[in-house]
Structure 1
Amino acid sequence: MNERFYPAVVVELSEEDGGGFAAYAPDLPGCMGDGNSPVESLSDLQDAVREWIDEAVRLEREVPAPGSALHSKNDQYRELIELVEKQDRALQSQSDIIGEQGDLLERQGRLIDELHSMTRQILDAAQSQARSRFDPWLEPRQSANRSFALAAVITNHH
Structure 2
Amino acid sequence: MAKYERIIFWSEEDGRWIVDVPELPGCMADGATAAEALENVEKIIDEWIETATQLGRKIPEPKGRLMYA
TM bracket, shorter-chain basis: 0.7 to 0.9
Per the normalisation by structure 2, the TM-score is 0.87
Aligned pairs, how many? 69
1:41 to partner: Cα distance = 0.6
RMSD: 1.8
Corresponding position of 1:43: 39
Contact persistence 2:3–2:64 (CA under 8 A): no
CA contact (8 A) 1:31 1:52 kept: yes
- Name the residue aligned to 1:20: 16
Structure 1 gaps, min length 5: 75-158
Q: 1:69 to 1:53 in 2, by over 3 A?
A: farther
List structure 1 segments (4+ residues) > 6 angstroms apart after TM superposition: none
Q: Which has the higher helix share?
A: 1
Give the partner amino acid of 2:39.
Answer: S
Name the structure where strand makes up a greater proportion of residues: 2
TM-score (norm 1): 0.40
Aligned CA distance change for structure 1 residues 20 and 29 (closer, same or farther; 3 Å): same
Structure 2 unpaired stretches of 5+: none
Is 1:7 matched up with 2:38?
no
Higher relative contact order (CA 8 A, sep 6+): 2
Max Rg structure:
1
Equivalent residues of 2:20, 2:28 under 8 A apart: yes
SS of the residue corresponding to residue 30 of structure 2 reads: strand
| % same residue | 30
